[in-house]
Structure 1
Amino acid sequence: MSFKGGVFAKQIAKLASGTALAQLINIISLPLLTRLYTPSQFGVFAVFLASVAVLSSISTLKYENAILDEEDSQDAKNCTVLTAISGVFIVVPLLLYCIFSYYFDFSLIGIDWLTALFLTFAIIFTNTFTALYYWCNRLQHYNFMTKGRVFAAIAVAFISLLIGYLELGTVNGLIVGSLVGMAVNMVYLILKLNISFSTVRQISFEKLFVLFVKLKRFPLFLVPSTLLDRVAAQIHIFVFSSVFGSAIAGAMGVYNRVVGLPISLIGNAVGDVYKRRISELLKSGKSCRRAFIKTGLALFTIAAPASCVLFFFAPEVFTFVLGEEWKQAGEIASFLSVNFLLAFVVSPLAGILYLRENQKIDLLIQIVLVVLLAIGMSIAVYENSFKIALSAYAISFGVKYLVQLIVSFKLAK
């Protein structure tokens, strides 16, 4: 299929417009949540989300990328199943830990039996949703992808606010709301794709094993690279929480949530459609350079003004919208405004690193990132300096995004 800019733009608009409503719900609910839950409570929630992010980075074994990469439709369908069930190697240990932690009343690194149970459900929901989401992307079912996000956002906001207002467990309201949102999104896609028990019974485990071996490059290279990426992206939450306190971790978590709104709204929508387009171009042996440049310029045009606003006015904006106690989150946003710009532009373009035989390159980039972060965070902990920790985060990710941009541009040939 040839690259058609008009169709490409319409697909992005369809995906982004549906996502806009979901993000609007998040935007409306966030000022209410920040007045019901304290920065410390958001810090605990941030640690939970960081744990989910790290575990989910390896739970699918990255076979979801093969759903787009496979030329044969049946193989792609089997890859969808493979993606959904791959989480069993994480779910089983979590359940065992949950049982032993409950009966013997112990916890490791702050994870008790209830948190382990929450993490178990999160992995099940995330794996199934990821598989179905990529299958919808392959089939261009963008309406399903966007409506699921809207229903999930409504569920998250309603449950989190309800528990917060009723004071039925403080931070658990944020966690339970998040889990309900994941479940709603997953169930919606299952219903829209008409997946039933009879469909599941038709699965050939022999074919799944063949694909498991044939596509071993995805878990072999993308699992460690994605794990390193997620650890690098979340390690500051664990460091901030354990060294500088949960309130700072909460401020960082709210910053991530706020800047994640435009990235989810536009950046991810562009990335989803862009990845499918370049996959088609690569399969036909054509250059992706034109698509790369047009997409990059469009993303930069959108993100540059927002980055300037964050740099100059973030503390005032955060205080006005979220409340006085969230000024520190605004100061973090101002400090990381350039990182926001780079993340918004580069992350969608770097999708080419997950296709064809490019996974080795992505692994090397993530190794460099983790090394830089480990050095920076070690110095910050030794000096007990939050400023050094934040600077290490900014510099490490800045280097990562610039390297990804250069490498992705070369691969776009």
Structure 2
Amino acid sequence: MFKKILSKVLPKKQFARGVSVLIGGTAGAQLLSVLAAPILTRLYSPDDFGMLAVFTALLTFLTVISAGRYELTIPLPDSEQDAADLTVLGFSLVLCTTIISAFIFIIWPQKIATIINTPQLANYLWIIPLGVFFLGSYQVFNKWAVRQKQFTVIAKTRIYQSVGTLAIQLGGHSLGPLALMGGHATGQGIGASGLAYSALKRPELKKISWRNIKKQAYRYRDFPVFSTWTALFNTASLQFAPIMFIAMFGATVTGLYALTLRMLTLPSSLIGNAIGSVFLSEAPKAKREGNLAELVTKLHSRLAMAGALPLVVLLLFGPDLFALVFGEEWRKAGVYSQWMAPWIYLQFQWSPLSMLTTVLELQRQALIAQVFTFISRFGSILIAMLLGCTADNSIFVFAVVSAVVYLLIMFWFMRKAGVKIRTICTADIKYVSAAFILILPIWLFFRSIL
């Protein structure tokens, strides 16, 4: 009965239906995270969140390369057996990365923590190998599920991950940063195990050929050769920020910045990734049929429309919203949200569309783009540090540079897909203007009575 109701409610077209299912699951996971955030900010201090940000940065560096970027190739082959062999290849590389990271972080935790000027982190670095295994495995089996269009299964894992993570962080709050980091690293394991169980039922994964695995590894060699560096530069351009901020300004400022980024990127990391997964499953076919530009244009327009209202709300109400929801000590994070909102708005659009570099096999160009991103963003922090800028000025400059970089890269690759820049700009201006017209009277009303 329930399935019949869903079949009537959900869109009929495959792309829209896939997006609807994934967004439904990820929206549930996002809602849990949003509801728990005001509790977490009252259980943990900005210093604790600053520690979490540095821990997350280190974990992310390893996770993005854990499968050699071969997970991105799983939806691409025509043959199901080739895709299955790529899945096994990716998981094998995750196991290797886990073993190497365990060796490093268990033997030299104090030295690593001292190098990044966060000696108190040494007691928690042993959690990183667990996180690498769970997060890396999830990435591999998630792409297999995307290929099979198992969007309902993926949606369920999003909720399981959120529940698992929050259960550890809320239930173990007496353990301090250990619960924050442990929840972040191991909560992903629930989703990974669910997707792996579903994948292992497929006959293709029971007939793997190591000869064919070697063949596929060579066929898609550009992904580890170029996409690995692309991912590293992309991660470094974002994750170096909390490491530098904690070294320059301390854990409190880093915690305020990290919470702001976490809250603002929830739609991008959850809903944006959901849309990106469905886009990746449909775009290769659209490319073969000559409809890729049309698909990209429609998707960008919808993303611009969805992000415009939150952008304007943050620009006008950021500090008051953060103080109300998270507590007065987090008001400064609301100021940071105003500065970061345009950057996150553009990231929300580009995050799912970044799969274009995979679909068009533009690994070299993607690497160039990420090197440019890294130099621009890291350079902005370095210049701010050399000029002796305050924490606020440094974060403001970093946010502005990030917004400009995302805009330029989106222009470049969407043109590669045949989309006109004028079309992109028109959609953004139209939806942001409409959002301002809608929200500005409310803002003026509150200003008049306060």
1:367 matched residue in structure 2 = 371
2:170 is the counterpart of 1:161: yes
2:138 is the counterpart of 1:138: no
- Offset at 1:314? 0.8
Are residues 393 and 91 of structure 1, via their aligned partners in 2, closer, same or farther at CA, if it must alter by over 3 Å?
Answer: same
2:290 is the counterpart of 1:286: yes
What CA RMSD, in Å, does the superposition of the two structures yield over aligned residues?
2.4
CA-to-partner distance for each residue in 1:353-387, whole Å, 9 max, x for gaps? Answer: 12243111111111111111232111121233223
1:79 matched residue in structure 2 = 86
Are the aligned partners of 2:347 and 2:406 in contact in 1 as well (CA < 8 Å)? Answer: yes
Are residues 313 and 289 of structure 1, via their aligned partners in 2, closer, same or farther at CA, if it must alter by over 3 Å?
Answer: same
1:400 matched residue in structure 2 = 405
2:19 is the counterpart of 1:42: no
2:446 matched residue in structure 1 = none
- Offset at 1:5? 8.6
CA-to-partner distance for each residue in 1:188-238, whole Å, 9 max, x for gaps? Answer: 222333459x99775433322222222110011111011000000111111
2:5 matched residue in structure 1 = none
TM-score by length of 2: 0.84
- Offset at 1:27? 0.9
Structure-to-structure mapping, 1:45-56, within 5 angstroms: 45-56=52-63
Are residues 5 and 223 of structure 1, via their aligned partners in 2, closer, same or farther at CA, if it must alter by over 3 Å?
Answer: farther
CA-to-partner distance for each residue in 1:314-371, whole Å, 9 max, x for gaps? Answer: 1100110011111111111011111121111122222101224311111111111111
Are residues 99 and 407 of structure 1, via their aligned partners in 2, closer, same or farther at CA, if it must alter by over 3 Å?
Answer: closer
Are residues 295 and 201 of structure 1, via their aligned partners in 2, closer, same or farther at CA, if it must alter by over 3 Å?
Answer: closer
Are residues 194 and 273 of structure 1, via their aligned partners in 2, closer, same or farther at CA, if it must alter by over 3 Å?
Answer: same
Give the whole-Å Cα distance in 2 for the aligned partners of 1:194 and 1:370: 38
Equivalent position to 1:347, from 351, 354, 357: 351
Are residues 108 and 134 of structure 1, via their aligned partners in 2, closer, same or farther at CA, if it must alter by over 3 Å?
Answer: same
Equivalent position to 2:247, from 230, 238, 242: 242
- Offset at 1:290? 0.9
Structure 2 residue identity aligned to 1:130: Q
**Secondary structure, aligned partner of 2:13:** helix
Give the whole-Å Cα distance in 2 for the aligned partners of 1:411 and 1:213: 26
- Offset at 1:124? 0.8
Are residues 42 and 216 of structure 1, via their aligned partners in 2, closer, same or farther at CA, if it must alter by over 3 Å?
Answer: same
Are residues 85 and 194 of structure 1, via their aligned partners in 2, closer, same or farther at CA, if it must alter by over 3 Å?
Answer: closer
Are residues 412 and 98 of structure 1, via their aligned partners in 2, closer, same or farther at CA, if it must alter by over 3 Å?
Answer: closer
Gaps of 5+ in 1: none
1:184 matched residue in structure 2 = 190
More deviation, 314-323/336-345: 336-345
1:93 matched residue in structure 2 = 100
- Offset at 1:49? 0.9
Give the whole-Å Cα distance in 2 for the aligned partners of 1:337 and 1:193: 38
Equivalent position to 1:253, from 258, 269, 278: 258
CA-to-partner distance for each residue in 1:265-312, whole Å, 9 max, x for gaps? Answer: 432222111122112222x25131111111111111111111000011
1:276 matched residue in structure 2 = 281
Are the aligned partners of 1:43 and 1:249 in contact in 2 as well (CA < 8 Å)? Answer: yes
2:385 matched residue in structure 1 = 381
- Offset at 1:388? 3.7
TM-score by length of 1: 0.92
Are the aligned partners of 1:369 and 1:400 in contact in 2 as well (CA < 8 Å)? Answer: yes
Equivalent position to 1:152, from 161, 169, 174: 161
**Secondary structure, aligned partner of 1:86:** helix
Give the whole-Å Cα distance in 2 for the aligned partners of 1:90 and 1:336: 33
Question: How many residues end up aligned between the 2 structures?
Answer: 405
Are the aligned partners of 1:365 and 1:403 in contact in 2 as well (CA < 8 Å)? Answer: no
Give the whole-Å Cα distance in 1 for the aligned partners of 2:166 and 2:242: 23
Give the whole-Å Cα distance in 2 for the aligned partners of 1:229 and 1:404: 12
Structure 2 residue identity aligned to 1:307: L
Identical positions, percent: 25
**Secondary structure, aligned partner of 1:94:** helix
Are the aligned partners of 1:46 and 1:253 in contact in 2 as well (CA < 8 Å)? Answer: yes
Are residues 302 and 102 of structure 1, via their aligned partners in 2, closer, same or farther at CA, if it must alter by over 3 Å?
Answer: closer
Are residues 114 and 69 of structure 1, via their aligned partners in 2, closer, same or farther at CA, if it must alter by over 3 Å?
Answer: farther
